Amino acid sequence: MISSFLEQYMSTTLQCLKLLDAYLLYILLTRALQLSYCLLLRTFPFNSLLSGFMSCVGSFILAVCLRIEINPQNKGDFQGISPERAFTDFLFASAILHLVVMKLVS
Amino acid sequence: MAEPSALESKPKASAGGGGGGGGRAGSKAGGPGPGPAPLAGGLSQPAGWQSLLSFTILFLAWLAGFSSRLFAVIRFESIIHEFDPWFNYRSTHHLASHGFYEFLNWFDERAWYPLGRIVGGTVYPGLMVTAGLIHWILNMLNITVHIRDVCVFLAPIFSGLTSISTFLLTRELWNQGAGLLAACFIAIVPGYISRSVAGSFDNEGIAIFALQFTYYLWVKSVKTGSVSWTICCCLSYFYMVSAWGGYVFIINLIPLHVFVLLLMQRYSKRVYIAYSTFYIVGLILSMQIPFVGFQPIRTSEHMAAAGVFALIQAYAFLQYLRDRLTKQEFQTLFFLGVSLAAGAVFLSVIYLTYTGEWHQGWKYAKIHIPIIASVSEHQPTTWVSFFFDLHILVCTFPAGLWFCIKNINDERVFVALYAISAVYFAGVMVRLMLTLTPVVCMLSAIAFSNVFDTRNILDDFREAYYWLRQNTDEHARVMSWWDYGYQIAGMANRTTLVDNNTWNNSHIALVGKAMSSNETAAYKIMRSLDVDYVLIIFGGVIGYSGDDINKFLWMVRIAEGEHPKDIRESDYFTPQGEFRVDKAGSPTLLNCLMYKMSYYRFGEMQLDFRTPPGFDRTRNAEIGNKDIKFKHLEEAFTSEHWLVRIYKVKQLQNRETLDHKPRVTNILSKQKYLSKKVGSQGNYPTKVGSGLSGRW
């Protein structure tokens, strides 16, 4: 079942979407790493841990949103949002997210 | 009189549009119906007028809101009122004099002696920062305002901003007209005024603005699915968190909205993007406020948001997979996923009960904590407060809610949930009437706007008069009953025979006689008076009881007064003495001109499947004479609801039709004559031409 899914995935998705998916996978791995640190070791600098964690989750969500918005299959849902606009939104949102994360880390 | 003729010479559509537009421009801006097509020329651009009008109305609403809150200041002086505002003022003063970081790290040793108070960590800084910022900006521009004055007037100024954000929100939900109404309502509604007067320097003054603005941005982001709107919503949410503890309302209402959308199968990718981004960025922003700290991930008040977040991630992922896998594979995966999730939930419940995390959150057991229960603002609300705080809006608010539910879409689900939860909370605590007030204003505005929208406005009279004005000759003469004389002269600009002055009774009697006689006699009268058009009012389609058939007997009586030999009132009644228009009505009535004009073609009209065709709604009877034909009149115009009917009087015909049948020359009669002469050959013709040659 998984192999058929992978086959279909490889053939139907666009190149740029695959790139985004690779980025998403990377974020997921980082998050798994952080979570294991949290569970296994300690939660002392709680705000740093939290900010790091939130940063991961936030970037993940934003990348997913970007992926949804630039997918040409979803054109109907998003009138008036070109891929360029979606990317600009992504940059703007990431900037805000990382600003706040920086604040929380300290 | 150049102008009216110029109007006439223009084609009908544009002149009608000009007349109609002129009539409607004075009404509420941005009216719902299709506006007239934009005419050439700058000043007559309807879109321009619309935005100018909206701007003016919003400005006036702001002014009204501001002025209505100034009573105490005008009467006494510019001073802070009540209790809580004095602490807020003192903190703002500290902020203005010592700077932002000093304020955040302020340890107040002059309160709660000898314990002291950590102000920075136990206050919602939004109010102080807002006032401090305004003070700083004004002083930078060398407008030296004292911090006390900024604090006193902050709430009235922000009430104007609340009006504007309510306008924006209602416009997203319904239309511009409703938005303007909502803005006007919230500017002057007592429930909001009482907690934001000048001098009441408290959190609610800015919090309601932040609340409405955040909701507006949320609705906008759900509608567009764009990340930038969602980020703006998060920033506004951050402002709200800094301003008031009531931010918990937002962080529970928005997940509830998303959850209900999921349940209603209105899931869409826009909702997913909007909520996921909002939750994460909003969460991390809300933790910036020291007072809030790490509560958003610890306390039970915030758990709903997290739960819905997890749910929507799972849902979206499943949707994604479903598009890729076949049904069989998807089902196995689904079962696997559900069992895993169930297992995870079970484990987490065990873990949480074991560590005691559940018990942290029962903050709403207010009846068990005396200090909280003793505050007067926390008492349950009486019905009196509902009425005094909301006045008439409390009656129209359920209607607006019903309209929203009837025409449901994603954003109206939100406002319905908002309304229901606000009503519940307002019933619990008097203080929370404040959260009910904005939504009541919005829904009442929607109700009023809908009332003005629906086409219950009947404009048949003006429709008919304008038809007369544009489609008849300038010197045409219109005959009608005297009631309508002035209106015809004024709006249709035509010559009338009789009007409301009623100075000449014989003339009115002539008109009455024409209306009461049969068509031929009436035609003679109308020819003698040079009548071109006849106008009557007929209310049988809409049930209007002031029409000409109901006035008819007066026409008869007036005519009888002058012409007693021709018109007799008793002729129009049944033998039993009733005035009836159905089959049992008197034949004189069923054939008189007024009857024919009123019911021409009405016999074919079936208004309702329960009633037969030709059912007169005013007299509640099926008409007697359905097959009406005119000889000397023809129908010229009937208005939309058949209220006004206009007939044209035909000219004399070129040839008079004969009353009798033409002569027929019959061969049969000649043969009779022949057979008598020759002999009885039988009554059949042989050879006509040679009939005289005799028998051979």
Locate the domains of chain B by residue range: 325-374, 460-649
pLDDT band (50, 70, 90) for residue B359: very low
Out of A53-62, B142-151, B204-213, least confident range: A53-62
Task: Please say if the pLDDT value at position B654 is more than 90.
Answer: no
Q: For B679, left (φ over 0), alpha (ψ -120 to 50), or beta?
A: left
Comparing CB atoms, the residue among A9, A54, A61 nearest residue B276 is A61
Please give the pLDDT value at position B455: 62
CA distance B184 to A85: 36
User: A-side interface with B, Cβ within 8 Å?
Assistant: 1, 4-5, 8-9, 46-47, 50-51, 54, 57-58, 61-62, 64-66, 68-69, 74, 77-78, 80-81, 85-86, 88-90, 92-93, 96-97, 100-101, 103-104
The C-alpha of A29 sits at a distance from chain B's nearest C-alpha, in angstroms, of 17
Q: How far does the CA of residue B269 sit from the closest CA of chain A (Å)? A: 7
Map out the domains of chain A as residue ranges: 14-105
Percent of chain B with pLDDT over 70: 85
Low-confidence winner among B168-182, B270-284, B563-577, B682-696 (lowest mean pLDDT): B682-696
Point out the residue among B270, B277, B297 whose CB comes nearest to the CB of A77: B270
Chain B residues whose beta carbon lies within 8 Å of the beta carbon of residue A66 = 227
Q: What is the pLDDT of residues B65-98, one digit of tens each?
A: 999 999 888 888 888 888 889 999 999 999 999 9
Residue B367 has pLDDT above 60, yes or no: no
Which residue in B502, B543, B273 sits closest to A66, CA to CA? B273
Beta bridge partners of B108: B117
CB contact under 8 A, A62 and B277: yes
Chain B residues in contact with A46 by the CB 8 A cut-off are 294
The model carries a pTM of 0.66
pLDDT tens digits, one per residue of B446-477:
999 988 876 667 889 999 999 999 999 999 99
In this complex, the residue of B273, B280, B325 whose CB is nearest that of residue A68 is: B273
Spell out the CATH class of B460-649. alpha beta
DSSP state letter for B40: S
Contact across the interface for A96 and B231, Cβ inside 8 Å: yes
Reply yes or no on whether the pLDDT at B112 is more than 90.
no
B284, A104: Cβ pair inside 8 Å?
A: yes
Q: Do B273 and A81 touch (CB under 8 A)?
A: no
Q: For chain A, how far is it from start to end, CA to CA, in angstroms?
A: 46
pLDDT tier at A81, thresholds 50, 70, 90 = confident
Q: Using CB atoms, which residue from B235, B268, B329 is nearest to A1?
A: B329
Residue B675 predicted with pLDDT over 90: no
| Lowest-pLDDT range of A73-77, A101-105, B28-32 | B28-32
Q: Nearest residue of B to residue A88 by CA position?
A: B228
Q: Searching chain A, which residue's CA lies closest to the CA of residue B221?
A: A78
| Tally: H helices and E strands in chain B | 29, 9
pLDDT at position A11, please?
Answer: 77
- Give contacts of B293 with chain A, Cβ < 8 Å: none
- With a pLDDT cut of 90, the percent of chain B lying above it is 46
Closest CA to B296 of B248, B345, B334, B255: B248
Band (pLDDT 50/70/90 cuts) for residue A102 is confident
Task: Name the B residues in 255-274 with CB < 8 Å from any A CB.
Answer: 268-270, 272-273
Mean pLDDT over B513-529 rounds to 94
Query: Other CB atoms closer than 10 Å to residue B674's CB: what's the count?
Result: 15
- DSSP secondary structure string for all residues of B304-372: HHHHHHHHHHHHHHHHHHHHHS-HHHHHHHHHHHHHHHHHHHHHHHHHHHHHTGGGGG-TT-GGG-HHH
Residue B240 has pLDDT above 90, yes or no: yes
How would residue B99 be classed by pLDDT, with cut points 50, 70 and 90? confident
Integer Cα distance of B251 and B237 in angstroms:
9
Quote the ipTM score: 0.88
Q: How confident is the model at residue B370 (pLDDT cuts 50, 70, 90)?
A: low
Looking at every residue in chain B, the average pLDDT score rounds to: 83
Q: Residue window 27-46, chain B: list those with CB within 8 Å of chain A.
A: none
Q: Are B558 and B570 in contact (CB under 8 A)?
A: no
- pLDDT of amino acid B28: 41
Cis peptide before B114, with omega less than 30 degrees from 0?
Answer: yes
The yes-or-no verdict on residue B19 having pLDDT over 50 is no
Rounded average pLDDT over B108-119: 87
How are beta strands B533-537 and B477-479 bridged, if at all? parallel
Contact across the interface for B225 and A92, Cβ inside 8 Å: no
Quick check: helix, strand or coil at residue B258?
helix
